[in-house]
Chain A
């Protein structure tokens, strides 16, 4: 398996909802990432896990909560989001932190 998969593809949630995004890879990669991407902008790093430990938190608001249950899975728990949080959320993985990152297809999130 040479792909990063993400579910769901699309998500619409209200500002009081709680939802989770899921990411999975079976390439044996030890680093996993969450990025946020707005239209016509580059991906913006949110979190990095290396060997299942949180390595980087780019001062992301606490309404976003990452979790790495094991080396193949990465979750992003969402709570009390704002409309400006609407974006494409991309997961990525790499064998070594910072090198050769492979992206999943993303979750298109709309907050109403």
Chain B
């Protein structure tokens, strides 16, 4: 089955800097890769996603890149702000019969003002 690894587990940046979180997956049949942001005590919020037929997708200050050959995808946040502080989870849709999302272990991002 699918396995997703996420790095780093914690990331501290200064306000205005960029942040990059990386994930690798094992199942070459996976075709959908979402990113969720979860603030303390809140629900996971879908912030951006990418399908396997696309290499990059941007939405204002956030972008996701996908390298199917290397089986990794990354979240890029530019001009970070204190409100970006949260736990970020990557996920991959299992390419098998279940079609379930397999989540990474999460990255705690702290943006220092």
A residues apposed to B, CB below 8 Å: 40-43, 45, 48, 56, 90, 97-106
**Nearest CB on A from B29, distance (A):** 12
B residues apposed to A, CB below 8 Å: 32, 34, 36, 42-46, 49, 87, 89, 93-94, 98-101, 103-106
Check if B99 sits within 8 Å of A105, measured CB to CB.
Answer: no
Check if B101 sits within 8 Å of A101, measured CB to CB.
Answer: yes
Q: 15 new A-B pairs (CB below 8 Å) besides A56-B98, A103-B43, A105-B43?
A: A42-B89, A42-B103, A42-B105, A43-B103, A45-B100, A45-B101, A90-B44, A97-B99, A98-B98, A98-B99, A100-B46, A101-B34, A103-B45, A105-B42, A106-B43
Check if B46 sits within 8 Å of A102, measured CB to CB.
Answer: yes
Check if B106 sits within 8 Å of A42, measured CB to CB.
Answer: yes
Return chain B residues, CB-CB under 8 Å to A98. Answer: 32, 93-94, 98-101
Return chain B residues, CB-CB under 8 Å to A48. Answer: 100
Interchain CA distance A35-B29 in the complex, whole Å: 24
**Nearest CB on A from B96, distance (A):** 10
Q: Could you name 18 residue pairs across A and B whose Cβ atoms are closer than 8 Å?
A: A42-B89, A42-B104, A42-B105, A43-B89, A48-B100, A56-B98, A97-B99, A97-B100, A98-B32, A98-B94, A98-B101, A99-B32, A100-B34, A101-B101, A102-B46, A103-B43, A103-B44, A105-B42
Interchain CA distance A63-B45 in the complex, whole Å: 29
Interchain CA distance A41-B108 in the complex, whole Å: 11
Which of the listed residues A40, A43, A48 has the most CB atoms from chain B within 10 Å of its own CB?
Answer: A43
Interchain CA distance A75-B53 in the complex, whole Å: 36
Interchain CA distance A102-B49 in the complex, whole Å: 12
Partner of B106, one of A41, A56, A104, A105: A41
